[in-house]
Amino acid sequence: MNIELTKEQSQKGDEFLKKLLSDGALERQTVYDFFSNRDEAIVICKTLEKKGIIILNSPTYNDPFIIVVPDDGISTFLKNGGLTKIATDQEEQNLIRKKEEEIRNLTSENLKLQNKQLKRVIVYSIISFVAGAIVSNLEEILTIFD
């Protein structure tokens, strides 16, 4: 399950990591108070956990928070751009995917048009060949019908 964060959520996540870096382990109510709503807290913290940046200690399904901070993970992660860089990279990858899809669609349309044009050229060549044969042999053809 790949969760994509918005830029706002990524920035909020980076702010949260800075708070974790300064405060150490946080209790669940502190986590809920930091974020605007519980769902946002869960999404951001689960994403950070999947990245290996934080560890959720003693989680339950309904209340997944008592947070323990790994040793150097947060400061290194923040120095490398944090969640904001990941969100920006995801946006760039989505844009690249859209452009690649557009290129595939245009290539497909181009091939269809080229095939249509090729069919026309073949039909016109056959018609020209038949017309040329008739015109060059017109005398013989007229003598057959007499």
Domain harbouring 111, CATH code: 1.10.10
Report the chain's mean pLDDT, rounded to a whole number: 79
> Containing domain of residue 38, as a range?
1-146
Cβ–Cβ under 8 Å, residues 54 and 70: yes
Q: At what angle do helices 38-50 and 7-23 cross, to 10 degrees?
A: 80
pLDDT band at 80 (very low <50, low <70, confident <90, very high): low
Is 90 exceeded by the pLDDT of residue 53? no
**Structural domains counted in the chain:** 1
| Tally of helices (H runs) and strands (E runs) in the chain | 6, 2
In the prediction, which pLDDT does 60 show?
63
Is residue 4 helix, strand or coil? Answer: coil
